[in-house]
């Protein structure tokens, strides 16, 4: 972990070229990027627990320049999987997209499968990376899930960050981890709590009407926050799916190995019948966007560009507020983020599975003591409530 994070040069360029959209739908606020020819069926990227729409910036720039349309979204504040399916369908209606191809990593891959199961007519294909079929393991590893909505922000962020393996890493993997951690720190307490609720909400993926030949499984072979047993279950469910193995890449290959990931995504899209339209691509100079990060890019980083991660942008032309005219679009969600100091992730899953070393934000000993006093106080209150309810039931019985 670097002491001070500065945004990569290609990310700074991405933010200057691709507009960030915000759209309120009911009580949900959606934050997303949409880039590429609108005539092409979109590839929609769904991040993991610690991810934001920004984590797929290398895929957006690379694939859009080749004639594909890429949409990367933040997971909104939904608290169960049924609410996710309904909210995502309303989002697609609001942006006038009907048939989609989904690329999901970790939690995003699980949500993509759920949507394909319950809305089969809309999903044309799936690319699943370091993901799983059911949430039982994560629920068992997180016994305090019932009070996750009460948990302070600093504890939620600390819990999420413990799922990221800390060095030693190859330089590209270390850079991807830094970017992911910087994104985590832009997420608010409500954002983190809702995503952890999705990971512990009792749910499993049922049979899909989608042909297995339209599914690609893309996993890394070095290490991942998702236990190997859960990844094996996914492979057993889709035995005829195409396999794309990455020798290295860690939890975030879309950042650490973007060239390989982008190639596999192109092969998948062509195989399922998506034809790119390079003739419709605007002539935007992008240099080496989409490739592996370079030393020169890192040296050109600026702290101001990193402050754009949380959804607010200091460059007005690069961000748009969209108010759909749909009758279901009322109100506006609050997208305020609590800046911490690092973020990203797609595959990150804080399932409580121990690692040898973890990334934990710096803090004084007194600060640690205060955090755990607050947390265990909440647990104590919940225990007293449970005991009180049982005592009332016992009195009624007597």
| pLDDT beyond 90 at 246 | yes
pLDDT at 351: 39
> What is the average pLDDT across 155-162?
90
Q: Please name the residues in contact with 392: beta carbons below 8 A apart, sequence gap of 6 or more.
A: none
pLDDT digits (tens, 9 = 90+) for 113-133: 999 999 999 999 999 999 999
pLDDT at 165: 76
Task: Return d(Cα 48, Cα 286) in angstroms, integer.
Answer: 27
Report percent pLDDT > 90 for the chain: 59
Residue 108 belongs to a domain:
yes
DSSP state of 274: P
Provide the mean pLDDT of the chain.
Answer: 79
Residue 382 belongs to a domain:
no
Q: What is the CA radius of gyration of the chain?
A: 21
> What is the average pLDDT across 239-247?
95
Task: Return d(Cα 224, Cα 345) in angstroms, integer.
Answer: 12
Residue 174 belongs to a domain:
yes
Residue 44 belongs to a domain:
yes
Domain that holds residue 121: 9-280
> What is the average pLDDT across 343-370?
41
Using N-to-C axis directions, what is the helix angle for 9-17 and 57-65, rounded to 10°?
A: 60
pLDDT at 370: 53
Task: Return d(Cα 301, Cα 299) in angstroms, integer.
Answer: 6
pLDDT bucket at 348, cuts 50 / 70 / 90? very low
pLDDT digits (tens, 9 = 90+) for 183-219: 999 999 999 999 999 999 999 999 999 999 999 999 9
The H-assigned helical ranges of 48-151 are: 57-65, 81-94, 107-118, 136-140
Residue 62 belongs to a domain:
yes
Q: Which of 115, 116, 27, 55 is nearest to 251 (CA)?
A: 55
Q: Which of 20, 111, 36 is nearest to 335 (CA)?
A: 20
Greatest distance between any 2 Cα atoms in the chain: 79
Residue 182 belongs to a domain:
yes
Task: Return d(Cα 57, Cα 99) in angstroms, integer.
Answer: 22
At 70, list the tokens: 């890429």
Q: Which of 29, 24, 303, 27 is nearest to 182 (CA)?
A: 303
Residue 92 belongs to a domain:
yes
In total, how many domains does the chain have? 1
pLDDT bucket at 305, cuts 50 / 70 / 90? very low
Residue 316 belongs to a domain:
no
Q: Are 108 and 50 in contact (CB under 8 A)?
A: no
- Residue 31 sits in a domain of what CATH number? 3.40.50.1820
Task: Return d(Cα 288, Cα 254) in angstroms, integer.
Answer: 15
pLDDT digits (tens, 9 = 90+) for 23-38: 999 889 999 999 999 9
> What is the average pLDDT across 288-294?
39
pTM of the predicted model, to two decimals? 0.74
Q: Which of 155, 279, 268 is nearest to 214 (CA)?
A: 268
């Amino acid at each position: 972990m670097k002491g001070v994070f500065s945004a990569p040069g290609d990310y700074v360029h991405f933010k200057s070229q691709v507009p960030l959209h915000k759209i309120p739908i009911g009580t949900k606020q959606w934050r997303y990027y949409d880039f590429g020819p609108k005539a092409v069926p979109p590839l929609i990227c769904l991040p993991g627990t610690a991810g934001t729409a920004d984590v797929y910036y290398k895929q957006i720039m690379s694939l859009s320049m080749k004639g594909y349309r890429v949409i990367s979204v933040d997971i909104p504040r939904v608290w169960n999987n049924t609410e996710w399916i309904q909210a995502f369908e309303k989002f697609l209606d609001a942006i006038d997209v009907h048939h989609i191809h989904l690329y999901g990593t970790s939690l995003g891959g699980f949500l993509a499968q759920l949507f394909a199961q319950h809305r089969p007519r809309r999903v044309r294909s799936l690319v699943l990376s370091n993901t799983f079929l059911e949430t039982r393991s994560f629920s068992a590893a997180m016994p305090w899930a019932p009070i996750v909505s009460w948990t302070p922000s600093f504890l939620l962020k600390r819990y999420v960050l413990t799922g990221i393996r800390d060095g030693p890493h190859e330089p590209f993997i270390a850079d991807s981890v830094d970017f992911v951690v910087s994104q985590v720190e832009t997420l608010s307490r409500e954002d983190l709590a809702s995503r952890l609720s999705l990971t512990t909400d009792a749910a499993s993926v049922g049979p899909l009407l989608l042909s297995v030949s339209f599914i690609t499984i893309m996993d890394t072979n070095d290490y991942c926050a998702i236990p190997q047993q859960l990844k094996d279950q996914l492979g057993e469910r889709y035995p005829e799916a195409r396999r794309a193995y990455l020798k290295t890449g860690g939890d975030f290959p879309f950042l650490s190995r973007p060239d390989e990931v982008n190639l596999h995504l192109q092969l998948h899209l062509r195989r399922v019948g998506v034809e790119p339209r390079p003739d419709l691509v605007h002539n935007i100079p992008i240099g080496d966007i989409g490739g592996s990060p370079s030393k020169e890019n890192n040296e050109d980083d600026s702290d101001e560009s990193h402050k754009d991660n949380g959804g607010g942008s200091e460059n007005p032309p690069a961000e748009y507020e969209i108010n759909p005219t749909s009758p279901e679009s009322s109100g506006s969600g609050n997208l305020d983020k609590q800046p911490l100091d690092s973020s990203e992730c797609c595959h990150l899953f804080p399932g409580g599975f121990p690692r040898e070393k973890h990334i934990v934000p710096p803090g004084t000993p007194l600060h640690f003591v205060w955090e755990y006093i607050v947390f265990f106080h909440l647990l104590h209150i919940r225990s007293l409530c449970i005991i009180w309810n049982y005592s009332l039931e016992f009195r009624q019985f007597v």
